[in-house]
Amino acid sequence: MKKVLLMSFMFWTMTSFIQADKPKKIIFFGDSITQAGVQPKGYITQLQEMIEKKGEKANYELIGAGIGGNKVYDLYLRMEEDVLNKKPDLVVIYIGVNDVWHKASYGTGTDADKFVKFYQALINKIQANGAKLILCTPAAIGEKTDSSNQQDGDMNHYSNLIRELAQKNNLPLCDLRKEFLEYNLKNNPENKDKGILTTDRVHLNELGNQFVAQKLFPLITK
């Protein structure tokens, strides 16, 4: 009996040690903004550098899973291969720009009710797989501060939908839409359409990537 107890204790100790030594795997799931996030000045790369400066490089594994042009249903369709099969501890969902932007630019997009249904399905599947989640609101389609960007109304609406999903599911939220608007109000006195945090109204410049990394850092390392 003592031998069995000793072996059980040793197994438990070894298992606990292995689990403690395992890095926290974080997948960033999104569109072209996230696809660019793994580039030298991208927000995922900057997060990795921030983690390394903190002396915790061995404790985290950051994986970018962004594909240009993706909308929320694209994420749902490739979730199994690009997220679930990799067994992440945490998934950061950063989607919504194309669901809004493509309505005007290509005559496509995602209706609000379908957006919520696909997004909730993502949440359900990822949570069922044992991973935690952080949701992000889409940041910008145009940086003007006087509410004259063509799709400000839809951007605010879809951001509200994500806020409601975060609240409903008791999930942490990185409210990039709110943060970008506040930053531009303070730092865009000329009411420029781009060039403050974005290169082209949508995609992040170096400062924009840094800004996103700073907002996500306390959430992913909590």
Q: Per residue in 173-194, pLDDT tens?
A: 999 999 999 999 999 999 999 9
In the block, residue with structure tokens 């107890």? 5
Query: Residue 56 falls within a domain, yes or no?
Result: yes
Query: Residue 7 falls within a domain, yes or no?
Result: no
Tell me what the mean pLDDT of segment 134-148 comes to: 97
Number of domain units in the chain: 1
Domain around 159? 24-220
- Is-contact 37 45, C-beta < 8 A? yes
Give whole-number Cα distances, 166 to 52, 105, 137, 170, in Å: 29, 28, 10, 6
DSSP state of 31: S
Please count the other Cβ atoms lying within 10 Å of the Cβ belonging to residue 32: 17
Query: Residue 19 falls within a domain, yes or no?
Result: no
- Supply the mean pLDDT for the chain: 92
Structure tokens at 114: 């379908």
Tell me what the mean pLDDT of segment 61-70 comes to: 98
Please count the other Cβ atoms lying within 10 Å of the Cβ belonging to residue 192: 16
List the CATH number of the domain containing 36.
3.40.50.1110
Bridge partners, 30 (sequence order): 66, 94
Tell me what the mean pLDDT of segment 53-75 comes to: 97
Helices and strands (H and E) in the chain: how many? 9, 5
Statement: the pTM of the whole predicted model exceeds 0.75: yes
